[in-house]
Chains A and B, each alone.
Chain A
Amino acid sequence: AQSVSQHNHHVILSEAASLELGCNYSYGGTVNLFWYVQYPGQHLQLLLKYFSGDPLVKGIKGFEAEFIKSKFSFNLRKPSVQWSDTAEYFCAATNFGNEKLTFGTGTRLTIIP
């Protein structure tokens, strides 16, 4: 069955620390990968996406993610976090041509000023 795993449930960092959130997927065929963010009291918003091409994708607010096919991974990174990055982060995937998203359980990120 198709699945997405996020092993970090809650991450606490100080401002200016580097961030890496793990995401692994189990999908056959061509996969599309996404990171969504949900800031407190707000709706889900897209951070970045990978469909094809350069496996290193850059998104909004200085976030990037790397698609490593051999590891079935799509980890999210940011070199220096800010207090405003406090939010819940969801990794998601679809098969090409099948648009329903499968989400991971999410990672709650808390940034300490």
Chain B
Amino acid sequence: GAGVSQTPSNKVTEKGKYVELRCDPISGHTALYWYRQSLGQGPEFLIYFQGTGAADDSGLPNDRFFAVRPEGSVSTLKIQRTERGDSAVYLCASSPGSSTDIQYFGAGTRLSVL
């Protein structure tokens, strides 16, 4: 596709449930990023992949959050035992991979934990 694709666009779940959010980056982009945007805030970094490996996961808030990118393309953000405070828009971005490349963002997944 032409841009970064994120599915689902909206996800409603109950407290304590497990959720998976998917990101399909721009074809050929080796770098992939996850951010979280809470209401009234700017996006906050969660994790960054270069290829298949997590190059920086310092933004993951706790061990309930995990992300994978097994083939260096599609990535999945996984949240276990969801809490109401996890409600936010989860954004994915990709870039060609060098430090001077810009990041292209998807439309995000709006997660609501009831």
Chain A interface (Cβ within 8 Å of chain B)?
4, 6, 32, 34, 36, 42-46, 49, 51, 90, 92, 96-106
Q: Which residue of A lies closest to B102 (CB)?
A: A46
- The answer for the CA separation of A5 and B100 in the assembled complex, in Å, is 23
Task: Decide: A105 near B105, CB < 8 A? Known: A99-B48, A99-B99, A100-B56.
Answer: no
> Does B43 interact with chain A (Cβ within 8 Å)?
yes
Q: Which residue of A lies closest to B48 (CB)?
A: A100
Residues of chain A within 8 A (CB-CB) of B100 are 32, 51
Residues of chain A within 8 A (CB-CB) of B31 are 99
- The answer for the CA separation of A110 and B15 in the assembled complex, in Å, is 36
Q: A42-B107, A105-B42 are in contact. List 4 more A-B contacts (CB 8 A).
A: A43-B4, A45-B105, A103-B42, A106-B42
Residues of chain A within 8 A (CB-CB) of B41 are 105-106
Residues of chain A within 8 A (CB-CB) of B105 are 36, 43-45
Tell me the dominant secondary structure on chain B's binding face.
loop
Residues of chain B within 8 A (CB-CB) of A106 are 41-42
Residue in A49, A97, A100, A103 whose CB lies within 8 Å of B102: A49
Residues of chain B within 8 A (CB-CB) of A45 are 105
> Does B44 interact with chain A (Cβ within 8 Å)?
yes
Residues of chain B within 8 A (CB-CB) of A4 are 42
Interface size class on chain B is: 20 to 34
A-B contact pairs, 30 of them (CB 8 A): A32-B99, A42-B107, A43-B3, A43-B4, A43-B108, A44-B91, A44-B93, A44-B105, A46-B104, A49-B102, A51-B100, A90-B43, A97-B99, A98-B56, A99-B31, A99-B33, A99-B48, A100-B33, A100-B45, A100-B48, A100-B59, A101-B33, A101-B43, A101-B103, A102-B45, A103-B42, A104-B42, A105-B40, A105-B41, A105-B42
> Does B73 interact with chain A (Cβ within 8 Å)?
no
Residues of chain B within 8 A (CB-CB) of A6 are 42
